[in-house]
Amino acid sequence: GAVVSQHPSRVICKSGTSVKIECRSLDFQATTMFWYRQFPKKSLMLMATSNEGSKATYEQGVEKDKFLINHASLTLSTLTVTSAHPEDSSFYICSARGRTGGSYEQYFGPGTRLTVT
Amino acid sequence: GEDVEQSLFLSVREGDSSVINCTYTDSSSTYLYWYKQEPGAGLQLLTYIFSNMDMKQDQRLTVLLNKKDKHLSLRIADTQTGDSAIYFCAERASGGYQKVTFGTGTKLQVIP
């Protein structure tokens, strides 16, 4: 099956610094990538959707200047949390959608746990 | 907008069947999914069903879809301790970016 990787899997940073999370589709081209955030014991909240080479579409309530998304290629999207604060601590999961085996499917990365101290 | 609801918790004995229920609001959903999430891990796609199907069976998993009532269920036969996890149902919209909306998740606890 299609594989989506995320890096890093876990990061701890100080308040005020910026953190970049990478999401890669390893064996297929992802025309669309999604970024989700999961709070403890909660469901996944869609933050933004991006197509390769175009600006991301952010969900209501998500600050685009705070969460910078770049979808530079068909296999890579990055999420940068700028000027991170403790309330940004969360589990961030990316998802990539592309054509695999004749159909468009969406695959999820393993997630990145961000802790801001 | 889309809304997907699940009960929060289910406890079953090892060997019994588990049934996890889900209701959704978007009648134009094309696909409905079941994902499994173990502690500290990402999402694992378990199975999915097209909106024009009523049932899908895959080994120990059976998915039932009642499109009229917008009700989806996942039955796990012969539940094992390794099935303990959080299970999310999700629906995929038909328009726009076809975004996937997740339910609130059901924590399944399997008692040995």
Nearest to A44 among B45, B97, B102 (CB): B102
Question: Strand, coil or helix: what is A88?
Answer: helix
What's the pLDDT tens digit per position in B5-31?
998 899 999 999 999 999 998 878 888
Hey, is the C-beta of B103 within 8 angstroms of any chain A C-beta?
yes
Contact B4, B89 (CB under 8 A): yes
Instruction: Tell me the β-bridge partners of B108.
Output: B10, B85
Q: Which residues of A touch B102 (CB under 8 A)?
A: 36, 43-44
Hey, is the C-beta of A81 within 8 angstroms of any chain B C-beta?
no
End-to-end CA distance of chain B: 40
**pLDDT value at position B1?**
54
Q: Which residues of A touch B41 (CB under 8 A)?
A: 110-111
Averages of pLDDT over runs of 10 residues in chain A (117 residues) are 88 97 92 89 87 87 94 92 96 87 77 95
What's the CA gap between B12 and B98, in Å, rounded? 35
**pLDDT value at position B2?**
63
Nearest to B97 among A32, A36, A111 (CB): A32
What's the CA gap between B94 and B35, in Å, rounded? 19
Tokens standing for residue A69: 């998304």
Q: Which residues of A touch B98 (CB under 8 A)?
A: 97
